[in-house]
Structure 1
Amino acid sequence: MKSDKAENLENPLERNDFTIDDFHHVLREFDKAVCEANAVSQGVGVRMAEAYQGWSTYIFARICIHASIMISNVPKSRWAKRDYDFWDFASIASHVRAILEAELLFMYLSEAPDSEEAWSAKLNVMHMNDCVKRIELFTQSDNTEALEFYNEQQSIIAERLNKNPAFLSLDSGTRKRCLSGKALTIPNRDDLLIKLGKDPKSFKVMFDFLSHYTHILPMSYYKMEPNGRGTGCFNKFDFGYIIMGMLLCTESLIKCTERLVDIFPDVKRLRKGTKSKFTLGPKPTK
């Protein structure tokens, strides 16, 4: 596979140097990562665990869902039977974005907390974010009973946080952001990225580009070509985007799977590439 990445100021995923052999190689590696992630996720099952470990498995399970849908949408994938291949990046863009974003949340939640108070602060900040989102949802509806319930919950969660020594040790700006429900995590996204050794600026560019294909924004249709780019027909642009999306998600899946195995070492034996066994997927390869 060629290593020289084309520089493109508009599009961080644009590469025109991939071959069909590159595509099949990247698809195989992505397939292995998806299979192993599903196998270890299901292998963890229902068991006694620390609270932070249990919550982490929910995030990991959602990562597996998005990865499974994504690989089912990739052309030539053994995960789905189809009469034709659909080469539009929009078929996987939302799942690429979800996986990259969820990696940050998973790594954050799966880190062993320094204390019970620190974990409680993490959990209740997440609860506050969920509660405020539900209040926003029900404010637009006629469900006054649900709205009253979540307004009450918001007050309860705020009281918990304001009595938590770990939360009170945070700077005033962070506390205000968390109490408003705008924060899913105590650190902001840039801080989470830096902790994982990722460049915040590059991530933002990538995330914003993926958003254009998750939604129907101008960048996803301004350069459409008859029977080519942006139509589902094979073209070098969407071909390259799909490969880059798989590369990014393979890396994320491997890192997240390794973290889950660190938490539950007994599931390591289930990592067998495309030979991994799990439900709701293709048969293991021989």
Structure 2
Amino acid sequence: MEEAAFEEAQDGLAARPVTMERYRELLRAFDATVCEALAVGQATSGRMAEPHVGYGTHIFARICGHAVSFVRAAPHSRWVKSDSENWDFSAIAGHARSIVEGYLFFAYMTHPPANAEELNARVNVMHLYDCTKRIRVLGGVVDKTMLEDFEKSAEEIRKRLKQNGWFSQLKDTLQEKLLKGGELTILSRPEQLELVEWKAREFYMFWDILSQYAHILTFSFYRMEHNGRGTGINNDADRFYIGLFLEHCAEVLSDCVDRMIVLFPDAAPVRKGIDSKFSPGPRRNLPRERKRKRR
């Protein structure tokens, strides 16, 4: 995101609103990036890979899922046929936020480890988080035996981490924190932002805007009906914010695809912009054999 666009977003609404012509350009660019991501994802599926790469492809798949939901929710999208429009920024805010947070997780997980012990620690911290989260969330609704299995698995993972030489070199306070199972990653969010060279000021501004609309917080209703804002009709404010995150998420998603190509160089040829082939999807993007089956 260019600095000028960032400053406009920080003020709430650009001095020069996103015109419909500009909006269509941003939508088409995001659409093309989604197509490339889906084509690359399908071209690399089902392969044997190191754990950090394998789990990374699963994270990438979830990013793609939210990207599809985003492009389908965006007004004037070719992905959906509708006799009405919904220009409500909240319709895409949750998906945009998931793409942003998924990007950091994907970059962290697929970053080459220094050695096998670091890789082992990275994966086991994620496993421990999953076990403890399931215990906390499902504790009152699942069978007691299942909970005991989760607790047993969590203890086994803790034991593996304590025996890991790379993990044991981390600061004691960090080890203690990670062993509680409440952290998904070893790197903190500021460290993950450094990994992708993303300025914290920009990230948290975007994150806070998206969170306000993903939830029902004050930003989402204090200025409702101001020139149509928040009503679902076409208006400068919602069109600006949707356009802003079409542009921003296209950049994020494109970087994710770049990282996938680094991991799987042979997948590069399927990256053909809005003409990339994948299935299911719009007819234009279906491989030839899938088009024949649709007839």
Given the two structures, how large is their TM-score scaled by the length of structure 1? 0.94
Provide Cα deviations, 1:197-256, integer angstroms capped at 9, x if missing partner: 111232122212211111112221111117811111111100000001111100011100
Task: State the Cα distance separating 1:145 from its structure 2 match.
Answer: 2.1
The DSSP-based 3-state class of the residue aligned with 2:149 is helix
Q: Percent identity?
A: 39
Q: Does structure 1 retain, via aligned residues, the 8 Å contact 2:277–2:285? A: no
Provide Cα deviations, 1:22-69, integer angstroms capped at 9, x if missing partner: 111111110110000000000002122222211111011111000001
The DSSP-based 3-state class of the residue aligned with 2:14 is coil
Tell me, which stretches of 5 or more residues in structure 1 are unaligned?
Answer: none
Higher helix share: 2
User: Aligned in 2, Cα 1:39/1:142: closer, same or farther, shift over 3 Å?
Assistant: closer
Corresponding residue for residue 182 of structure 2? 182
Opposite residue 117 of structure 1, the aligned amino acid is E
The DSSP-based 3-state class of the residue aligned with 1:284 is helix
Q: Does structure 2 retain, via aligned residues, the 8 Å contact 1:67–1:95? A: yes
Corresponding residue for residue 237 of structure 1? 237
The DSSP-based 3-state class of the residue aligned with 1:82 is coil
Q: Please report the RMSD computed on the Cα atoms of aligned residues, expressed in angstroms.
A: 2.0
Q: Does structure 1 retain, via aligned residues, the 8 Å contact 2:6–2:202? A: no
User: Aligned in 2, Cα 1:41/1:5: closer, same or farther, shift over 3 Å?
Assistant: closer
Deviates more, 1:206-215 or 1:77-86: 206-215
Confirm or deny that 1:49 pairs with 2:64. Answer: no
User: Aligned in 2, Cα 1:25/1:142: closer, same or farther, shift over 3 Å?
Assistant: closer
Q: Does structure 1 retain, via aligned residues, the 8 Å contact 2:35–2:273? A: yes
Corresponding residue for residue 40 of structure 2? 40
Q: Distance in 2 between matches of 1:125 and 1:13?
A: 38
Provide Cα deviations, 1:142-201, integer angstroms capped at 9, x if missing partner: 532222111111111100100001111111121112111121110100111022111123
Deviates more, 1:219-228 or 1:102-111: 219-228
Q: Distance in 2 between matches of 1:13 and 1:130?
A: 37
Q: Does structure 2 retain, via aligned residues, the 8 Å contact 1:63–1:99? A: yes
The DSSP-based 3-state class of the residue aligned with 1:176 is helix
Q: Does structure 1 retain, via aligned residues, the 8 Å contact 2:26–2:243? A: yes
| Number of equivalent positions | 284
Corresponding residue for residue 249 of structure 1? 249
Confirm or deny that 1:209 pairs with 2:209. Answer: yes
Task: State the Cα distance separating 1:3 from its structure 2 match.
Answer: 8.6
Given the two structures, how large is their TM-score scaled by the length of structure 2? 0.91
Corresponding residue for residue 98 of structure 2? 98
User: Aligned in 2, Cα 1:13/1:246: closer, same or farther, shift over 3 Å?
Assistant: farther
Q: Does structure 2 retain, via aligned residues, the 8 Å contact 1:74–1:242? A: yes
